[in-house]
């Protein structure tokens, strides 16, 4: 595996991790607002048809004592499913009764995503200054012709280092929210 091939791979890993985070973070950030505005039962049929909720889930939600608690439990189930928020948005569109929520949800998701990207950019800049990893590829490339061992060994070790470092950074970002 060559150094040039590692950089796009690391970027795709970061992007995949980032896109999952904003939706669940956005749901949590909007939780009090959504609990006031959404009536959970209105969305059961659509969410069941998309296999986001089961009949047991809807029964569990319905057993809650207040509308806020029902919506809170619905949000818990939606946060567990990677397609949960998208399905809720589509259900709101289909209902056509709370279209004002669509823009609000979209704005919050984009805001959280931008915050995560900015935080990740800042973290990457810090890690580069500490480990000088940006020059490591160039130094390794210059030494390849004089090395006695297989040059791919360095790249594999470097890839694992980058991968684990970025996973750790992302998990720290998630834990901070």
Choice between 153 and 55, residue whose per-residue pLDDT is larger:
55
Sorted by sequence, the CB contacts under 8 Å of residue 127 that are 6+ apart come out as 133, 165, 169
- Per-residue pLDDT of 70-85, as tens digits, reads 999 999 999 999 899 9
Structure tokens at 47: 């969410």
DSSP character string of 94-109? HH-S-THHHHHHHHHH
**Structure confidence at residue 97 (pLDDT):** 82
Whole-prediction pTM value? 0.57
Closest listed residue to residue 114, CA positions, set 25, 33, 9: 25
Q: Measured between alpha carbons, how far is 105 from 40 in angstroms, rounded to an integer?
A: 16
Region 153-159: mean pLDDT is 56
**Structure confidence at residue 157 (pLDDT):** 58
- Per-residue pLDDT of 20-51, as tens digits, reads 556 778 888 999 999 999 999 999 999 999 99
Residue 54 has pLDDT above 90, yes or no: yes
State how far Cα 77 lies from the chain centre.
Answer: 16
Choice between 157 and 18, residue whose per-residue pLDDT is larger:
157
Choice between 26 and 126, residue whose per-residue pLDDT is larger:
26
Q: Measured between alpha carbons, how far is 53 from 126 in angstroms, rounded to an integer?
A: 42
What Å distances lie between residue 173 and 75, 76, 108, CA to CA?
21, 20, 17
């Amino acid at each position: 595996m060559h150094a040039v091939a590692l950089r796009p791979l690391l970027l795709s890993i970061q992007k995949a991790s980032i896109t999952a985070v904003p939706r669940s973070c956005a749901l949590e950030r909007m939780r009090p607002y959504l609990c006031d505005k959404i009536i959970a039962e209105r969305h059961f049929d659509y969410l069941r048809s998309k296999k986001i909720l089961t009949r047991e889930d809807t029964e569990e939600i319905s057993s809650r004592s207040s509308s806020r608690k029902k919506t809170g439990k619905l949000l818990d189930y939606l946060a567990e499913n990677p397609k949960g928020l998208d399905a809720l948005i589509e259900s709101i569109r289909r209902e056509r009764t709370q279209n004002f929520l669509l823009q609000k949800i979209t704005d919050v998701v984009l805001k959280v995503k931008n915050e995560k990207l900015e935080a990740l950019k800042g973290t990457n800049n810090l890690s580069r200054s500490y480990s000088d990893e940006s020059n490591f590829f160039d130094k390794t490339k210059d030494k390849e012709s004089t090395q006695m061992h297989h040059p791919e060994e360095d790249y594999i070790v470097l890839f694992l280092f980058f991968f684990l470092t970025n996973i750790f950074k992302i998990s720290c970002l998630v834990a901070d929210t």
